[in-house]
Structure 1
Amino acid sequence: MSVPFAGSGPVRVLEVESAAYRRAFELFLAGTDEKEDIEARLVDLVEGLGRRRVFLDVGAGEGRTTARLAPYFGRTVAVEPSAAMREALRRACPGATVVAEPVDRAEPGVRADLVLLSHVLYYLPGEEWAGALDRVFDWTAPGGTLLVLLQNPDNACMRMVRHFTGARFDVRTAARRLVERQAGRVADWSVETVDNAYRTADPRAALDTAEFMINVPGLGDLDPLPSRAGLAAYVREHFARPDGTYVIGHAHDVVRIRRAPDPPG
């Protein structure tokens, strides 16, 4: 069965700076339980930190999470290379120091008691993950905590991404290799998988959100691009529920790495 509003053309390649990307991102946020759930968990973690002098949010996006956590710290620094996102970030968290460069060139000038790297690694080639993770670990103060969030590679959303693009993102393996490289500087580490899902009763919204989800780096290099009709068929087959709603699971892996304190003296 065809889906008329899917059209006959390919999926859109959404540039991060574009209005279309922003609209798709807002559509995703409107239907997911991720922000409320993850932010509540982050607040619990922050309240348990021994020191809360500096918070560093790397890839802060529109600043919602930054603004939620900033009041717990004496100072907040946010790294965000997207100009459009920085505008929203400054509105959401006007007290934050904003660094415009991407993670591989940013110089935040702080050692933070909490460093958050949330949903950034998708935008880096796999061969650059190790350098980026070493870099953000260096920005973590002795005794501080580095948190890395990325979707679990085996969730429903990422299975769809792999089906249409071939891309797979495995933060657990990357974190384990980081800990091995930094063995003498890591006190302890853990990985928790948190269930989250996008829900909607609107089939157009489900399709547009699925299109947003498969917009990983490298999508634009595919020839041919996946078709909107093919994506619509996938959404209908895998995400439609008997009650007429659509549910796209996107569980997260939350990596927590605590840097060892400096030795006394």
Structure 2
Amino acid sequence: MSVPFADSGRVRVLEVESAAYRRAFERFLAGTDEKDDIEARLVALVEGLGRRRVFLDVGAGDGRTTARLAPYFERTVAVEPSAAMREALLRACPGATVVAEPVERAEPGVRADLVLLSHVLYYLPEEEWPDVLDRVFDWVAPGGTLVVLLQNPDNACMRMVRHFTGARFDLRPATRRLLERQGGRVAERSVETLDNAYRTADPREALETAEFMINVPGLRDLDPLPSRADLAAYVEKHFARPDGTYAIGHAHDVLRVRRAADPRV
């Protein structure tokens, strides 16, 4: 594959606050079926809730999903530590109460009928995940539901992340710890894997999206960083399709935990 991106040099470390990150994120959203798929399932879940007083979106990002679900609730609270993302969040969902602290320090001050923790755990050390899940579960109102989204560790995207960075993210051990520690407070739980994918006909966009995907926190610590040429070769080998397009699978694990309705627990 001969494109300028792949000619020389190292992949970029994309800072969440940077314009380059936001452009890459927009490109990813434009090519993936994730948002439509996930939001449709979340809407179905919300419509089945017994009460819809408070929605708490932890790690709300640019607020697209927040804005999609907020009309179903009397009140919406969003936790988002990134200043750049908060600006977009407030534009998308101006009626939300926004908490600027990260999840491990945030104090939203509510018990919510739906708590959403979407793609946040990548940014925390894995040994902290059980405590974070306990903390977030405490924000669920009796009878309410916690939803946690994380990429499945064995999907095509995560295999690429592991190949270039060594990082692996697996929600299952922390889920087991949550269920063990919360005991009788859990009324029901389920884990579903959704088969999502990013698609494009543009080889440069495929490469730049792959670069965005491998920008996990551990990337910045690598010396040297992966080369652009190696990333291009990986994309061509694993994601090129016979029709000339590219597809990068990024299946998601969706954990749902319903809290017991008895307010004493």
Equivalent pairs counted in the alignment come to: 265
SS at match of 1:182: helix
Q: Which amino acid aligns with 2:259?
A: R
Residue in structure 1 matched with residue 62 of structure 2 by the alignment? 62
Matches for 1:124-135 after TM superposition, within 5 Å: 124-135=124-135
CA contact (8 A) 1:172 1:255 kept: no
Give 1:99's aligned amino acid. Answer: V
Give the AA of the match of 2:199.
R
Task: Report what 1:114 is aligned to.
Answer: 114
TM-score normalised over the length of structure 2: 0.98
Using the alignment, how far apart are the partners of 2:109 and 2:157 within structure 1?
36
Q: How does 1:79-118 map to 2 (within 5 A)?
A: 79-118=79-118
C-alpha displacement of 1:7? 2.7
Q: Deviations 1:95-150 (Å, cap 9, x if unpaired)? A: 00000000011010000000000000001111111111111000001111000000
CA–CA separation in structure 1 for the residues paired with 2:37 and 2:114: 19
Cα-Cα RMSD: 1.3
TM-score by length of 1: 0.98
Q: Does 1:253 align with 2:240?
A: no
Q: Provide the rounded CA distance (Å) in 2 between the counterparts of 1:68 and 1:15.
A: 26
Deviation track 1:151-185 (CA, whole Å, cap 9, x = no partner) reads 00000000000000111111122112111111121
**4+ long deviations beyond 6 Å:** none
The 2-side partners of 1:244 and 1:222 are apart by 32
Measure how far apart 1:5 and its partner are.
Answer: 3.1
Which amino acid counterpart does residue 90 of structure 2 have in structure 1?
Answer: R
- The answer to whether the 8 A contact 1:8-1:228 is kept is yes
Paired position in structure 1 for 2:142: 142
Q: How far apart, in 2, do the equivalents of 1:114 and 1:151 lie? A: 20
Alpha-carbon contact 1:188-1:257 (below 8 Å) kept: yes
- The runs of 5 or more residues in structure 1 that have no matched partner are none
Distance of 1:114 and 1:83 partners within structure 2: 24
Contact 2:53 2:75 in 1 (8 A): yes
Contact 2:3 2:204 survives alignment (8 Å): no
Q: Which consecutive residues of structure 2, in runs of 5 or more, have no partner in the other structure?
A: none
Contact 2:5 2:228 in 1 (8 A): no
